[in-house]
Amino acid sequence: MWMLLPALSLAIVHIAGDNAGVVPDAATQKGAGIFLTVILAYIAFGAGLTGLAASIGARTGVELAVVVRRLFGVRGKRLLAVITLGISIPASALTGGYFAAWLVHDLTGLPQPAAAPLCLALFTLLAVGYLPELLMIANYCSLLLVPALAILLVTVGGEHLSGNWPAGGIDWPLVMALFGYNAGGMRPALAAETAACLARRGGRAVWLTVAAKLVEGVLTIAMAYIVLAVGATGPMSLAAVAKYSFGPVGGAFFAGVLFFAFATTMVPAMVVNGRHVACCTGLGSWKGVAAAAVAVYLATFAAYESLLQIMGWTAGATAVFIGYTAYVVHKNGGNQQ
């Protein structure tokens, strides 16, 4: 029972543009086929990679970057940084520069291209320690996402399911993109660090991170179901459903909660981006975050599909690297010397 609430909290912290943006919008095109896509990307592949990363932290008791440095030296640490940035930069561009900006557009009428740099600037300031009170408010407000989704599920439960829900085949490029989005980038490092902090609980620390990924997958399926039940269209079709169900005021409240949920993901993402940019370039921590913010902003000019493709390609490299690292750690019995 001790695992339920922490797993739910970890799942909410991980809610990003893939869960509330890519999957619901893709559901309008893929129909019921999106459910199998989510099961593969989150519950099968995502939970598996998260479990491997968590096992590294639980076995060693230290952060993933420290383990990699001890095992593979500076080159290994830089390779980890490059692999992480290969997913984290495009993911940050979509979550912070595309979906968050669309929410700002819905709330204020500001055009999405103009809102993108403002959102990224806010997330960057929060990442370097400014406005800690706002970040605390965002953390608490993001917890409202679960009851809001539950209310939406009840609200749309009586709706006639739109269309005939064509299933279609498995969209493997989308599966790999979502796999990289939800389990790659900063996620292995967070899973390893969480397990390292709970190392005294042994294997239960690993199961906690896996349970959080499973809960995240269930919440993502719920978001896709809500959109399919109403037949909303993107971008940010989930917010459109809330506006349809709750009215303008309720829809604006839901959009605000969703923006805060994105903020709780984007702040640690910008910290991780800055840390790995600094590792690759030798810049200081603040300069690394600033350089990462510029890189993320430039990535927002890339095509939506191109960003998903990059994450899909990098997901395979991430799985191989984390899998090999876990193999070496367990082969050495947790001794990284």
Query: Of 150, 148, 37, 19, nearest to 91 (Cα)?
Result: 19
| φ and ψ at residue 331, rounded to 5 degrees | -65, -35
Work out the number of other CB atoms within 10 angstroms of the CB of residue 62.
17
In a domain, 307, yes or no: yes
Neighbours of 157 (CB within 10 A): 10
Residue 190 lies in a domain: yes
**Residue 164 to residue 162: CA distance in whole angstroms:** 7
336 domain residue, yes or no: no
pLDDT of amino acid 258: 93
Residue 171 lies in a domain: yes
Splitting the chain (337 residues) into consecutive groups of 10 residues, what average pLDDT does each group show? 61 75 86 87 90 88 88 91 93 94 94 94 94 91 88 74 56 91 84 75 72 86 88 84 90 93 91 91 87 95 93 92 92 66
Domains: count for the chain: 1
d(CA 20, CA 95): 9
**Whether the bond into 235 is cis, omega within 30 of 0:** yes
Q: Residue 337 domain-assigned?
A: no
What pLDDT does 188 receive?
84
Q: Is 169 exposed, middle or buried (0-12, 13-18, 19+ CB in 10 A)?
A: exposed
Residue 79: give the domain boundaries. Answer: 4-331
Burial (CB < 10 A; 0-12, 13-18, 19+), residue 200, is exposed
Q: Domain holding 286: CATH number?
A: 1.10.4160.10
Q: Would you give the distance in Å from CA 57 to the centre of its chain?
A: 20
Structural domain includes residue 188: yes
Q: Looking at the domain assignment, is residue 29 inside a domain? A: yes
